[in-house]
Amino acid sequence: MQHGKFITLEGGEGTGKTTQIQNLHSYLTRLGIDCIVTREPGGTAEAEKIRNLLVQRDGGDWDPLSEALLLFAARREHLVKKIWPAMQKGKWVISDRFVDSSRVYQGLAQGLGETVIEGLYYMIAGEFEPDLTFIMDINPEEGLRRSGKQNQMSLDLNESTEDRYERLGLGFHEKVRDGFLHIAKTHPKRCVIIDADQTPDAIFDQMSDVLQIKFGLKKAVKSGAV
Ligand SMILES: Nc1ncnc2c1ncn2[C@@H]1O[C@H](COP(=O)(O)OP(=O)(O)OP(=O)(O)O)[C@@H](O)[C@H]1O
Ligand SMILES: [Mg+2]
């Protein structure tokens, strides 16, 4: 059996990653490809526990290296217990964020540097990399407006409190955007930048063009359609 593919969606807050992952999943499923959707940090029971420490508003005030170690512990769980076993069974795995987010948030924006991040990544994953990464790109002001979490102080139980990163301010999110564009430039075979300042249908149309070229898949006529 052939190994499944591993596709990641990366980008700052509110760039449409979660929205487009749903489109991608239904598109691949309609083509008869067995695929699963997952996310980081998280994706397994243990890794989701670590997620709560890091993304919740009251998750904690972590030293950047401690934070990176927690993220890589979660990623190791995710790889060993979910991503690799699924791929070995021939399933395609689509992940909402992966190691590029650590490269950008911890390595660049929080200043840990490339050597630390690449060392940790090699320790948990060796040479493994995604087959394809979509870098969703938008002006961070628009992204934060879309994600709608930055200025909310409400503790309404219905509202997401997974906003620890969103609350870090525009300067941080501009660094994040530049960081993802840098990753795309330094990993040109794997990464494709998608202009996220378009309608969801137009964005998915562009993504399905990439899938067609990269994996020889049939083109979607419009969002989610085959
Ligand atoms: N192309 C688009 N145009 C306008 N609004 C959009 C578009 N794509 C998504 N949205 C809306 O923007 C918000 C953020 O989208 P989404 O949750 O998909 O982004 P995300 O990158 O997953 O965000 P986060 O980093 O917060 O998880 C949602 O309310 C979504 O409905
Ligand atoms: Mg999301």
Predicted confidence (pLDDT) per residue in 129-180, tens digit:
999 999 999 999 999 999 885 444 444 444 566 667 666 788 999 999 999 9
Looking at the whole model, is its pTM more than 0.75?
Answer: yes
Proximal ligand: closest to the CA of 16:
1
Q: Report percent pLDDT > 90 for the chain.
A: 78
Rounded Cα distance, 174 and 82, in Å: 32
Q: How confident is the model at residue 221, as a pLDDT?
A: 59
- In this predicted structure, the answer to whether residue 49 has a pLDDT above a threshold of 50 is yes
Q: Is 43 left (phi over 0), alpha (psi -120 to 50) or beta?
A: left
Q: How confident is the model at residue 166, as a pLDDT?
A: 66
Q: Domains plus CATH for the chain?
A: 6-215 (3.40.50.300)
- The residues lining ligand 1, judged by C-beta closer than 6 Å to any ligand atom, are 13-19, 146-147, 199-200, 203
- DSSP string covering 78-94, please? HIIIIIHHHHHTT-EEE
Atom 25 of ligand 1, residue of closest alpha carbon: 13
